[in-house]
Amino acid sequence: MTIPKHIELEISKAIEQLAFADRTYNLGAPIWPTADSKADWKHDLAIMRMYDDLKHVRLELIAADQTIPFQFIICFNGEPAIAASGDVAKGVEVPVLPSHVRSIVTNKRVVIGNCNNGKEAPYRHLLRKNWGAAANHARRSGDSYASSHCQAITGGRQTGGFHVAAEARHQLVVYRCGVRGFAFAKAQDLGMADVYLRPEDAPPGFQFLAGQRITAIIVQTPRGLQGRAIRAA
């Protein structure tokens, strides 16, 4: 069966974003250790997408207690809608996980979400992998933020989001404020400076002030370090 090029591209973009996050953390063997294993995933997800039976795909890091301190989920919406903020990160905005969070990770996986409406029968014989049910693990209490990059590179046909455990929040001190509401801060616990902060990533009406103490999820982007899910300390 010939898979339409636009579906191949859509699935490839999703898988490559997850693979990038997986490589960034370098926790254990890669999710896709070979090009063939990744190709099999892309093929099967593209088949599911063709049959309108793919809701999302997500990368999860799993702790020893079987909770999830990190999740990166990409949802397949199919409806074009460019984010008003554009591609803020200019790339995948991977959260910076401190060592005490990385140390609790004992496993990882990629899970897909189907529509659960009985659509699999017509395409099951086309799949390369033997898919089965995955155990449901609870996410640890924490914060979530949307991926503007994921939405921007797909014209809104995909939306992405990260969930990060509360233990991964960082303490920051604002040291410089801009005239348009943005600011820069230092992350004292990591010895990092120049974390870029936007008012859009803080509660409505939040204003940055020099010397102010805040907490945030720090994310690494091609544009440098940025803050997400910002709030007062």
Give pLDDT, residue 79: 65
What does the DSSP assignment read for 41-96?
HHHHHHHHHHTT---EEEEEEEETTS-BSEEEEEEE--S----TT--SSSS--EE-
| Domain count of the fold of the chain | 2
33-55: pLDDT as tens digits:
999 999 999 999 999 999 999 99
Count Cβ neighbours within 10 Å for each residue of 19-52 and write b for 16 or more, e otherwise: bebbeebebeeebbeeeeebeebbbbbbbbbbbe
Question: Which among 168, 194, 223 is the end of a domain?
Answer: 168
135-186: pLDDT as tens digits:
999 999 999 999 988 888 888 888 999 999 999 999 999 999 988 899 999 9
Residue 43, CA distances (Å) to 3, 5, 7 in order? 8, 12, 10
Q: Is the dihedral of CA 87, 60, 73, 198 positive or negative?
A: negative
Q: Please tell me whether residues 187 and 157 are part of one structural domain.
A: no
Please give the single-letter amino acid code of residue 8: E
Mean of the per-residue pLDDT values of the chain? 92
10-31: pLDDT as tens digits:
999 999 999 999 999 999 999 9
Query: Please, which pLDDT band fits residue 60 given cuts at 50, 70 and 90?
Result: very high
Q: What is the CATH number of the domain that holds 199?
A: 2.40.50.140
Secondary structure letter of residue 26 according to DSSP: -
Q: Can you read off the two tokens belonging to residue 26?
A: 């370098």
Question: For the chain, what percent of residues have pLDDT higher than 90?
Answer: 79
* Cβ proximity of 35 and 48 under 8 Å: no
Give pLDDT, residue 81: 60
Domain holding 76, by residue range, is 5-168
> What integer is the mean pLDDT of 215-231?
95
Task: Say yes or no to pLDDT of 117 above 80.
Answer: no
Q: Please tell me whether residues 141 and 184 are part of one structural domain.
A: no
Task: Say yes or no to pLDDT of 113 above 70.
Answer: yes
Q: Please tell me whether residues 143 and 208 are part of one structural domain.
A: no
Give pLDDT, residue 153: 87
Question: Which among 145, 168, 191 is the end of a domain?
Answer: 168
Q: What is the pTM (predicted TM-score) of this model?
A: 0.92
Q: What is the CATH number of the domain that holds 146?
A: 3.30.900
Give pLDDT, residue 80: 63
